[in-house]
Amino acid sequence: MAEPIRGSLVQEMRRHYAHSRDIGIVLESLRRRFAEADIPFAVVGAIALQHYGYLRHTEDIDIVTTPEGLRKIHETQVGRGIVPRGPGLRKRLRETEHAVNIDVITSGEHAGSQDSPVTYPPPDSDAFVEADGLRYPTLESLITFKIASGIWGRRGQDLIDIQKLIRLNGLDEGFAERLLPPLRERYLDLLRESRLEIELE
């Protein structure tokens, strides 16, 4: 007979569900408040993955805005239910009512590290598309950001995310031509690894 699930596991599952719901509430609030304050932004990170069919749990909201947008966030939003997560942390914020972290990237920043050839473009550029009132990276841009973060930022999870996107979106060798030349070889490696995993299943 299977042993019953322990209460702590059930509680953790409930916490994840509740936090995911809170993230949705906070994201809608940001969309409305930032529009009223004329703050441009786009959603990246795990929430952007969901736009392309990959549902992965996340604890926070990652956004791209402009340097001017960041200034406006602090002038018009901080102190109204949004606070820095520590002294001097202008890009590490927290929505206090639902305890949701908001991580801000400004356009012009390098993805991964300063050595990366990839920089984040402004959220109103054609590197992003609009859906349901929010802006998300194009699939090409999302994979570009994640390869750069995986290689130069040494974030293995981002490379795993790319393999999931490859499988869910039926990507092939031709997609590599849509990426920057320094990223193509790593993308093709991930494509081969993804296909090998399918063969072993």
Residue 2 falls within a domain, yes or no?
Answer: no
pLDDT at 21: 79
Residue 151 falls within a domain, yes or no?
Answer: yes
Residue 1 falls within a domain, yes or no?
Answer: no
- CATH number of the domain enclosing 30: 3.30.460.40
Number of domains in the chain: 1
Tokens, residue 23: 């993230």
Residue 81 falls within a domain, yes or no?
Answer: yes
Q: Give strand pairing partners of 137.
A: 128
Residue 98 falls within a domain, yes or no?
Answer: yes
Residue 17 falls within a domain, yes or no?
Answer: yes
Residue 136 falls within a domain, yes or no?
Answer: yes
Residue 135 falls within a domain, yes or no?
Answer: yes
Phi, psi of 153 (to 5 degrees): -95, -5
- Nearest to 49, CA basis, from 143, 177, 123, 112: 143
Q: What string of pLDDT tens digits covers the 201 residues of the chain?
A: 444 444 554 454 455 545 577 899 999 999 999 999 999 999 999 999 999 999 888 889 999 999 999 999 999 999 999 999 999 999 999 999 999 999 999 999 999 999 999 999 999 999 999 998 999 999 999 999 999 999 999 999 999 999 999 999 999 999 999 999 999 999 999 999 999 877 666
* Structural domain that includes position 64: 7-200
pLDDT at 3: 47
